[in-house]
Amino acid sequence: MTRALRFLFLATLFCVTFEKVHWNVAGSVALVDVLAVLFLLVYALDRLGRRDHWLPVTAAVVTAFATAFLLVYLVGFFNLDSAQGDSQFAKGMFKFVVHFLFLAAGVSYLARRSEEFYWRAFGVFCAGMVFNAAYGIVQLLAARSGFNLDHAVLSPLTGGASSINIYGAIEGASVYRPNALTGDPNHLGVMLILPLLALAPIYLRLERRHPWKTKLAVTIGFLLIVELTTLSRSGLLGLLVGVIVLLLPYRRVISLRALLVPVGGTVAILGAVILSNYHYFRTIIKSRVQTGGNSTSVHFSVYDFVPQVLHSHPLFGLGLNNFSVYYELVTGKTNWGPHSFYVSLIVESGLAGTALFALFILYLFRRLQAARAIGRALALLGDPASARVRPLAYGLSAGLAGTMASNVFYLTMSFYYFFAFATLLLAAPIVFGRRLALR
């Protein structure tokens, strides 16, 4: 059972961004749904078999937050007034329960494992993102050759239809934005900022001859290229915010030589590609820089619904996962999301849910502060692990800040990958704090 538990946990971390791998069974069941639920079942059986009742304080706090969110959502349920709203609420409730159970169980599971296993879990999480990004590049190259990679690879597996995003056309030539295994190129762009920001400080602090130095440089450069190919303004906004956060502690220790490989290589490759068809890429870049387009107005217009909903349901909102139902009633458009995590949060859970989520985010930052403090304490003790713990803590802090900024116009913080990220974040001070306890 131990091996099965380890496999399911790592497999879930690897697949958390594979949105397209799903089946239309009782609605829509994704691969990560199956893996996460199996992990939770096996984990529960393992704990019962061992009669292990120990729960880390962090996992207990997560459980308390989950209970509080559940109460808010259940009160909000009474604001629903349609069968469609009930159905959407049930779908949202399933995701919520699995997300928070995985978060609590994942933190508890990592708290029992070694530092080596933590690093393996962190590596698998990042590797899943790299795999997704690699699929996106192949998808982009295939599309430019007239070949639908999703149709050849995913359709036989899932029985559904999917394809790369077509942004538009320039002089008859289609402009493609890779969405890889995610549902949207902007999702991919926002998700990729986590490995970029988390790995960057670790790479900068690695010794020059460390075997992972070159590997991380190539990985960061590759992910940066894929990030730019998504043409995601939200992704770039989050990346910029994360970089600013990292500049605060690393502004005096950043090596220009160390940055030259990933950043310089990325600039050189993209520069060569752009110069090969300057007019084509100039038109694309110009269209993404302008702020007066329809897509921009849609992203801002959804904020107009906030005061309307707060006027009618100020405390508990319209009900979990019910923004699209309300949007359809107002505009007539079906299957339309809020295009902002914060709009979704306020509209669906009201002021009570928003305040509770703010406390949850504050708790995440407090645990990151604890991880940074552990890294400083280890450095004072001369423990070489501090050279890994502190960069990890700063990288996770930048990743959280960047993701929050990106979600002003997207809502990836309600996806599986964010809860997997939160699991690694909350477990870090527990796992590495044991070093101080042994001193």
Q: What is the pLDDT of residues 153-179, one digit of tens each?
A: 998 888 777 888 887 777 677 888 999
Is residue 26 predicted with pLDDT exceeding 90? Answer: no
Give percent of the chain above pLDDT 90: 53
CB 153 within 8 A of CB 41: no
Looking at every residue in the chain, the average pLDDT score rounds to 86
CB 334 within 8 A of CB 393: no
pLDDT-based confidence at 205, cuts 50/70/90?
Answer: confident
List the structure tokens of 60.
């207990």
Q: What is the pLDDT of residue 438?
A: 63
Q: What is the pLDDT of residue 176?
A: 86
List the structure tokens of 319.
């009900």
State how far the Cα of 231 lies from the Cα of 59, in Å rounded to an integer: 37
State how far the Cα of 321 lies from the Cα of 411, in Å rounded to an integer: 12
State how far the Cα of 294 lies from the Cα of 15, in Å rounded to an integer: 33
Q: Taking residues 106-116, what's their average pLDDT?
A: 95
Least confident span in 27-36, 274-283, 397-406: 274-283
3-state secondary structure of 381: coil
* pLDDT tens by residue, 310-333: 778 889 988 888 877 766 655 555
State how far the Cα of 394 lies from the Cα of 388, in Å rounded to an integer: 10
Q: Taking residues 334-359, what's their average pLDDT?
A: 86
Which residue has 């590609």 as its token pair?
Answer: 273
pLDDT-based confidence at 282, cuts 50/70/90?
Answer: low
State how far the Cα of 78 lies from the Cα of 234, in Å rounded to an integer: 34
Q: How far apart are the first and last CA of the chain?
A: 33
Q: What is the pLDDT of residue 237?
A: 93
Q: Taking residues 300-316, what's their average pLDDT?
A: 77
**Element of type H or E holding 173:** strand 173-177
CB 185 within 8 A of CB 228: no
3-state secondary structure of 197: helix
The count of C-alpha atoms lying within 13 angstroms of the C-alpha of 405, restricted to the half-sphere facing its C-beta, is 22
**What residues does each domain of the chain span?**
2-437
Q: CA 374, 376, 380 angle in degrees (round to 5)?
A: 115
